[in-house]
């Protein structure tokens, strides 16, 4: 690769040809402010519309300012990033953006975590000239089950559009209108719930302002805890413990499992359980289902559907329901861990504590926005009483902990309650891409071959961060082909392969978010630094390694659950409580 020399603010740096001014400057510690620009390095997404122009810099010999994010350097280029011309332009542009932006920062959900606000602070903007007669864009606010869209706050950075279309290939969001009226919205500006949105929340995860945020359930949670007649049960997803610490200034990748448990107790939850327990339960059902399909296939049953796809990710489930309805019989019928937890909590555990389900509130703490929607799906309720009452995100929990004035860093490391707090390393790794299928492989292998895995419990070939991964696991002479995809765009590629009959996979794990749940839409914002996701992934694997038991079928509380209550995996009761079916949610053109 050819290198070129470029001088930025009188410092010379040598970079490969094709490097942008922004990146070259970064190499020598010059941080040029950007707003619309977003590079998610590890997942190959770059949003570079050159739209906000906040990164404008002066290039010697050029008649106008150059956007640093999009302009490639050339040999001998001389760049100035803080001349008065640049500063004035940057300031004027931010004033322009603010002139069409609500000024409700004090009460905005993104306050303190907003890139536009940060910029306004950094530039010391104190007034918006002409604001009194400046027309502002107004749109109605859209409340879907998971996501709130307040387009008044949209600055047209197009990041959400990139995530929704390029990364997820969902196509719910697109730029609409033009000029001053331009915004990013679903077709006909209808609400998200009438669009093919999967509620994956990746748009929310990258939105620099308060235009896209989660539906906030923290008030509901406070109400439930405040009610003395209600038993409030918490379940916490595996990925939450690997990220929550970031909200409290800890290094990405810091595990805060015990501190999180004690914080939840301090907040007043009656029981603090672990979704990992339900993940183990999921493996029991899904693992047996996989073996059942596999064995029937090996015996020559041509009706059996293979590959079997995982079904823990509600955004992924909604994706197949919307975009591939004719393939809705391929995913495992096993419910997600969140929902398995809910149905066991409100039956098995409710019996144990002799509390009717109406008096219980099951709250999930999730890295995810689609989980909010999933908990509201009609099929996951009994007589209108949902198995999971509502779901809060890692971010909402962090806010509550801060609101309660709890110092997470210095809380004691507590243990989950029993019985539903007992879990294995297999349950933990559900939080990362490849984890579900690794957990399933650990159990399926032992059940199928009758042999103990012992030292080979880690399946390295299933781990990693590439969008699509393939592995072949030898089940004692039977080669099993496993596929893994994270990101719905990658999932789409595998689905299309299956559709064309070109797939030789037996099982495929799919997660909607980059890196799996660790990169979920409800996690602390990564602000475009995907190294954070990798650190979280390492934390998850660390937690697995720390666990004394690392295979789901060896979880003693799971074994007890089957013995005392459920009977056999895939049995009658398990079918009723732990399995589900899928619907065709696609748009249908019908003749009137």
Partner 1 sequence: MHLLVCGGTGCRASASDSIAESLKEQLHHHNMDHEVQVILTGCFGFCEKGPIVKVLPDNTFYTEVKPEDASDIVAEHLVKGRQVERLLYKAPSGEQVTDSRHMDFYKKQIRIALRNCGFIDPENIDEYIARDGYLALGTVLNEMTPQQVIDQVKESGLRGRGGGGFPAGKKWEFAYKNESDQKYVVCNADEGDPGAFMDRSILEGDPHAVLEAMAICGYATGADQGLIYIRAEYPLAIKRLKIAIEQAREYGLLGQQIFDSHFNFDIQLRYGAGAFVCGEETALIHSMEGERGEPTFKPPYPAQSGYLEKPTNVNNVETYANVPVIINKGPGWFSKIGTQKATGTKVFALAGKVNNVGLIEVPMGTTLREVIFEIGGGIKGGKKFKAVQTGGPSGGCLTEEHLDTPIDFDNLLAVGSMMGSGGMIVMDEDDCMVSVAKFFLEFTVEESCGKCAPCRVGNKRMHELLERITQGKAEKKDLQRLKNMCHVIADTSLCGLGQTAPSPVLSTMENFWDEYVAHVEDQRCPAGSCKELMRYEIIPENCVGCTACARKCPVGAITGERKQVHEIDQDKCIKCGACLDACKFDAVTIK
Partner 2 sequence: MSSIKVKIKQQDLNKIREICQAHGNEPGELINVLQQTQEHFGYLPAEIQEAVANELGLPVAKVYGVVTFYSFFTMIPQGRYPISICTGTACYVRGADNVLQEFKRQLGIAVGETSEDGKFSLNCLRCVGACGLAPVVLVGDKTYGRVSPDGVKDIIAEYQDKE
**Residues engaged in binding partner 1 (CB under 8 A):** 48-54, 56, 64-65, 67, 70-72, 85, 88-89, 92-93, 96-97, 99-100, 129-130, 133-135, 155-156, 175, 177-182
**Residue whose C-alpha is closest to residue 428's, from 522, 261, 545:** 545
Least Å from the CB of residue 175 to partner 1: 6
586 contacts which partner out of partner 1, partner 2, none, CB within 5 to 8 A by kind? partner 2
**Which range of residues in 67-75, 115-123, 148-156, 166-174 is near partner 2 by CB under 8 A?**
166-174
| Residue of 55, 114, 154, 312 with catalytic role | 312
Active site residue 499: no
Q: Measured between alpha carbons, how far is 494 from 466 in angstroms, rounded to an integer?
A: 14
Q: Which of 134, 175, 353, 404 binds partner 2 (CB under 8 A)?
A: 175
Catalytic-role residue among 41, 60, 251, 379: 379
* Among 88, 92, 141, 177, interactor with partner 2 by CB under 8 A: 177
Residues between 368 and 427 that touch partner 2 (CB under 8 A): 377-378
Beta-bridged to residue 302, according to DSSP, are none
* CA dist list (Å): 535 to 146, 254, 463: 26, 8, 14
Write the CA distances from 324 to 318, 320, 441, 573, 582, integer angstroms. 10, 5, 26, 30, 11
One of 19, 113, 117, 195 touching partner 2 (CB under 8 A):
195
Closest by CA position to 167, among listed 206, 218, 134, 132: 206
How many Å apart are CA 283 and CA 443, to the nearest integer? Answer: 7
The answer to whether residue 517 is catalytic is yes
Residue among 343, 517, 543, 552 flagged as catalytic: 517
Catalytic position from the list 162, 332, 423, 552 = 332
Q: How many residues bind partner 2 (CB under 8 A)?
A: 30
Q: How far is the CB of 34 from partner 1 (least distance, A)?
A: 12
Q: Which does 48 bind (CB under 5 to 8 A by kind): partner 1, partner 2, none?
A: partner 1
3-state secondary structure 224-237: HHHCCCCEEEEEEC
Indicate which single residue of 325, 333, 449, 453 sits in contact with partner 2 (rule: CB under 8 A).
325
Q: Is residue 332 annotated as part of the catalytic site, yes or no?
A: yes
Residue 92 touches which of partner 2, partner 1, none (CB < 5 to 8 A by kind)? partner 1
Which helix (H) or strand (E) segment holds residue 364: the answer is strand 360-366
Least spacing, CB of residue 425 vs partner 1, in Å? 47
H runs (alpha helix) in 414-568: 425-428, 435-449, 488-499, 531-546, 556-561
- Pick between residue 5 and residue 48 the one whose CB is nearest to partner 1: 48
Active site residue 543: no
313 HSE (CA, 13 A, CB side) = 39
Of the candidates 371, 372, 534, 551, the residue annotated as catalytic is: 371
Does 289 qualify as catalytic in the annotation?
A: yes
Residue closer to partner 1 by CB (options 57, 578) is: 57
Q: Is 587 left (phi over 0), alpha (psi -120 to 50) or beta?
A: beta
The reply to whether 321 belongs to the active site is: no
| E strand segments, 397-476 | 468-475
Catalytic residue among 321, 374, 422, 509: 374
Following DSSP, what letter does each residue of 126-159 receive, concatenated? ---TTGGG--------EE-SSEEE-GGG-----H
* 333 annotated active-site: no
Angle 331-332-336 (CA atoms, 0-180°, nearest 5)?
Answer: 105
Among partner 1, partner 2, none, what binds residue 589 when CB lies within 5 to 8 Å by partner kind?
partner 2
Residue 85 binding target from partner 2, partner 1, none, CB below 5 to 8 Å by type? partner 1
Q: Does 185 bind partner 2 (CB under 8 A)?
A: yes
- CB-based burial of residue 381 (10 Å sphere; 0-12 exposed, 13-18 middle, 19+ buried)? middle
For residue 209 the two structure tokens come to 């302002």
From 150, 161, 285, 289, the catalytic residue: 289
Task: Give catalytic status of residue 214 as yes or no.
Answer: no
3 state DSSP class of 49: coil
Q: Is 178 in the site for partner 2 (CB under 8 A)?
A: yes
**Closest CB 72 distance from partner 1, rounded Å:** 7
Q: State the residues that interact with partner 2 by CB under 8 A.
A: 165, 170-178, 185-188, 194-196, 325, 377-378, 583-592
Give me the active site residues, please.
286, 289, 312, 332, 371, 374, 379, 517
């Amino acid at each position: 690769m050819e290198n070129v020399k470029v001088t930025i603010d009188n410092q010379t740096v040598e970079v490969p040809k094709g490097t942008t001014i922004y990146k070259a400057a970064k190499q020598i510690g010059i941080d040029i402010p950007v707003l619309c620009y977003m590079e998610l390095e590890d997942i190959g997404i770059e949003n570079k519309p050159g739209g906000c122009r906040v990164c404008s810099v002066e290039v010697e010999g050029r008649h106008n300012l150059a956007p640093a994010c999009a302009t490639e350097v050339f040999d001998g280029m001389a760049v100035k990033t803080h001349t008065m011309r640049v500063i004035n332009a940057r300031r004027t542009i931010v004033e322009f953006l603010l002139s069409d932006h609500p000024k409700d920062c004090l009460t905005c959900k993104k306050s303190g975590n907003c890139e536009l606000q940060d910029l306004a602070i950094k530039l010391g903007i104190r007034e918006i000239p002409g604001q009194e007669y400046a027309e502002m864009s107004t749109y109605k606010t859209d409340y879907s089950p998971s996501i709130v869209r307040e387009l008044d706050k949209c600055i047209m950075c197009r990041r959400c559009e990139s995530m929704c279309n390029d990364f997820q290939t969902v196509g719910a969001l697109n730029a609409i209108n033009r000029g001053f009226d331009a915004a990013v919205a679903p077709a006909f500006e209808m609400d998200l719930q009438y669009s093919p949105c999967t509620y994956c929340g990746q748009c929310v995860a990258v939105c620099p302002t308060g235009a896209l945020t989660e539906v906030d359930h923290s008030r509901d949670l406070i109400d439930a805890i405040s009610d003395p007649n209600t038993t409030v049960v918490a379940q916490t997803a595996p990925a939450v413990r690997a990220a929550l610490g970031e909200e409290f200034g800890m290094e990405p990748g810091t595990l805060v499992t015990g501190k999180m448990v004690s914080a939840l107790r301090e907040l007043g939850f009656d029981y603090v359980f672990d979704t990992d327990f339900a993940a183990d339960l999921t493996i029991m059902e899904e693992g047996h289902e996989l073996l059942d399909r596999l064995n029937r296939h090996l015996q020559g049953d041509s009706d059996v559907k293979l590959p079997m796809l995982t079904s823990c990710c509600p955004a992924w489930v909604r994706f197949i329901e919307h975009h591939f309805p004719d393939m809705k019989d391929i995913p495992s019928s096993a419910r997600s861990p969140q929902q398995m937890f809910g149905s066991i909590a409100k039956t098995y555990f409710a019996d144990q504590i002799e509390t009717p389900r109406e008096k219980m509130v099951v709250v999930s703490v999730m890295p995810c926005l689609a989980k909010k929607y999933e908990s509201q799906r009609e099929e996951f309720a009994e007589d209108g009483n949902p198995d999971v009452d509502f779901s809060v995100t890692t971010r909402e929990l962090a806010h509550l902990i801060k609101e309660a004035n709890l110092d997470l860093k210095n809380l004691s490391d507590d243990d989950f309650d029993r019985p539903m707090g007992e879990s294995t390393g297999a349950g933990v790794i559900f939080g990362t891409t490849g984890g579900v299928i690794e957990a399933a492989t650990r159990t399926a292998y032992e059940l199928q071959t009758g042999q103990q895995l012992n030292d080979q419990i880690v399946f390295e070939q299933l781990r990693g961060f590439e969008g699509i991964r393939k592995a072949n696991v030898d089940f004692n002479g039977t080669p099993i082909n496993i596929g893994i995809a994270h990101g719905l765009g990658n999932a789409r590629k595998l689905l299309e392969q299956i559709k064309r009959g070109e797939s030789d996979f037996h099982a495929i794990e799919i997660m909607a978010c980059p890196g799996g749940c660790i990169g979920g839409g409800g996690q602390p914002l990564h602000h475009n630094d995907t190294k954070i996701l990798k650190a979280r992934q390492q934390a998850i694997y660390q937690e697995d390694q720390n666990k004394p038991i690392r295979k789901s079928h060896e979880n003693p509380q799971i074994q007890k659950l089957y013995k005392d209550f459920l009977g056999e995996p895939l049995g009658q009761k398990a079918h009723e409580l732990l399995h589900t079916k899928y619907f065709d949610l696609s748009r249908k053109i019908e003749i009137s």
